Amino acid sequence: MSTPTAPVTQHQQGRTGASPILALDGISKAFGAVAALTDISLSVGEGEVVAIVGDNGAGKSTLVKVLSGVHAPDSGTITFHGREVSVPTPAAAMDLGIATVFQDLALCENLSVVQNLFLGRETRRLRLDTVQMETRSWELLRELSAKIPTVRIPVAGLSGGQRQTVAIARSLLGDPRVIILDEPTAALGVEQTAEVLNLIERLRDRGLGVIMISHNMADVRAVADRVAVLRLGRNNGEFDARAVSSEEIVAAITGATDNVVTRRAGRGATAAAAPHPPTPAAAHHDPEGDVR
């Protein structure tokens, strides 16, 4: 019931066709007998939003952890600005310019916005320079058009969307080139989601490469340039977000469209034309349902 399409290639180009800021090639990671990631390729370019989608256990968090220096891959290469790098620790990731906003945000409820923004990197001369930190906080939040009433308010008093904004703003203080957002809208209502999606667009406008993990097809299609599907720890399709339907993405997630290796083996010369090589459109098929 599915028509095979052109294979997913190792995507080496960003939205603008420029070389990627960050590229993974052949990344594998096992935990004992569990192959969490097998031969994964992924890239993100300047001013590009790449969504990573996949079912529970597909390997999304493991991939984020490999990129953020939490897990070392067993094999494969990570290239940053064309140079092969290793990311042995979270500090190494930050030094390179890869910032990650984990799903739990890691904010301190009882501390203020400004204290959270500068936690661990307080501006010091002889003492904490609170004025300077507050000024910088305002600048940053204004740049992000964040709707936060005061930087002195404890984070406990903020909405989910405002908290996500604070966590993203915090990661920007290290001046990253790539920012990874793990489920940035998962816990948010409609309005807050819109706010965070706007914020992601502003990150893209600043020229950052954005990698966004998401379960929400509407969010993915609203903000991503490219959608990379993981299934059972493998690449299972990469799509132009403007051209793909939610059903096509869901089919790749659920396995209604096969892994590219299987697909290639079975398709002979019947591949459909890819409208935007090397980001081919997905197969046409009957959707198996939607996620969330």
Ligand X SMILES: Nc1ncnc2c1ncn2[C@@H]1O[C@H](COP(=O)(O)OP(=O)(O)OP(=O)(O)O)[C@@H](O)[C@H]1O
Q: Are 92 and 69 in contact (CB under 8 A)?
A: yes
Binding partner of residue 56 among ligand X, Mg ion, none, CB under 5 to 8 Å per kind? ligand X
Phi, psi (5° rounding) for residue 36? -75, -40
Look at the chain and count its residues. Answer: 292
Shortest gap between Cβ of 59 and ligand X (angstroms)?
A: 4
CB of 100 to Mg ion, least distance (A): 13
Which of 13, 38, 43, 61 contacts Mg ion by CB under 5 A?
A: 61
Tokens of 27: 């990344």
Q: Could you say which residues in the range 10-69 bind ligand X, by CB under 6 A?
A: 31, 34, 36, 54, 56-62
- For ligand X, the closer of residues 58 and 220 by Cβ is 58
Q: In the bound complex, what is the minimum distance in angstroms from residue 150's beta carbon to ligand X?
A: 34
To ligand X, the closest distance from the beta carbon of 235 in angstroms equals 13
Shorter beta-carbon distance to Mg ion: residue 46 or 219: 219
Compare residues 29 and 60 and give the one whose CB is closer to Mg ion.
Answer: 60
Number of residues that bind ligand X (CB under 6 A): 11
CA distance 179 to 48: 11
Closest approach of ligand X to the CB of residue 115, in Å: 30
Shortest separation between residue 59's beta carbon and Mg ion, angstroms: 8
Q: Based on the shown chain and the rule CB under 6 A, indicate whether residue 229 belongs to the binding site for ligand X.
A: no
Residue pair 235/52 in contact by the 8 Å Cβ criterion: no
The helix/strand/coil state of 191 is helix
Range 164-193, binding ligand X (CB under 6 A): none
Q: Which does 270 bind (CB under 5 to 8 A by kind): ligand X, Mg ion, none?
A: none
Residue among 60 and 231 whose Cβ is closer to Mg ion: 60
Separation of alpha carbons 155 and 118, rounded Å: 13
Q: Which is nearer to ligand X, 61 or 235 (CB)?
A: 61
Instruction: Judge whether 178 and 44 are in contact, CB under 8 Å.
Output: yes
* Whole-Å CA distances, 244 to 3, 102, 238, 256, 283: 15, 27, 10, 15, 10
* Nearer of residues 76 and 174 to ligand X, judged by Cβ: 76
DSSP 97: T
Separation of alpha carbons 70 and 79, rounded Å? 17
Please name the helix (run of DSSP H) or strand (run of DSSP E) that holds residue 199, with its range, or none.
helix 190-205
Which residues of the shown chain bind Mg ion in the complex (CB under 5 A)? Answer: 60-61
